[in-house]
Structure 1
Amino acid sequence: MAERLTMEDVPALARHFRLQWEEAQQAWVLLYPEGMVRLSPSAAEIMRRVNGATSVGGIMEELERAFPGADLRPDVMAFLEVAYERGWIRKKGG
């Protein structure tokens, strides 16, 4: 079974990836040498908080403050797991 993220893990963008607003796409994108991943608005909200300093739990708390009343935790964790499996993010120190 693949290693999973925990609430205490601190995610960071993986090497060779850069998050930026792409005016031509009118969207946040992940750029890497071989191409680009266009992010949905909700994925961008999550990825913009992946800074190498904030834990998974901290990211969830920030999103809950930004979007009060929404039960975001299952969706945020599911997205971060996919991003981790695809190599977009890594665990800080990993």
Structure 2
Amino acid sequence: MSAIADEQIPNLRRGFRFQWEPAQQAHVLLYPEGMIKLNEAAALILELVDGERHVAAIVDTLRTRFDNVPGIREDILEFLEVAHGNHWLEFR
């Protein structure tokens, strides 16, 4: 069971920027001390993190896109927990 609630709203922490990096041929998170190269699944989640959508809306959007993926909700929540634990995201 996740500690993240459906009504929480994730946002990138101050100083972090999500973008496509042509040199890496991948989406990345840029921050003052460096860069984090993201896999496709992480990028799909983070592109929906806009400081306005709550967790349930992010899950619903991805569940609609990938309706045959078992356990997608749990995977999304796990990623959000890891991103929060790594101080990439804040929740309100």
66-75 vs 46-55, greater mean Cα deviation: 66-75
CA deviation map 1:44-74 (0-9, x unaligned): 0001000101111110000011112213011
Gaps of 5+ in 2: none
Q: Kindly report structure 1 stretches of 4+ aligned residues shifted beyond 2 Å.
A: none
Q: Percent identity?
A: 44
Letter aligned with residue 26 of structure 2? A
Gaps of 5+ in 1: none
CA distance in 1 between partners of 2:32 and 2:4 (Å): 26
CA distance in 2 between partners of 1:38 and 1:44 (Å): 9
Given the two structures, how large is their TM-score scaled by the length of structure 2?
0.93
Report the count of equivalent residues.
89
Q: What is the DSSP-based 3-state SS (H/G/I as helix, E as strand, rest coil) of the residue aligned with 2:52?
A: coil
1:5 Cα deviation (Å)? 2.0
Q: Does 1:11 align with 2:7?
A: no
Q: How does 1:28-47 map to 2 (within 5 A)?
A: 28-47=27-46
CA distance in 1 between partners of 2:65 and 2:35 (Å): 27
Given the two structures, how large is their TM-score scaled by the length of structure 1?
0.91
CA deviation map 1:3-37 (0-9, x unaligned): x3211100011100000000000000000000000
The answer for the alignment partner of 2:60 in structure 1 is 61
RMSD: 0.8
The answer for the alignment partner of 2:84 in structure 1 is 84
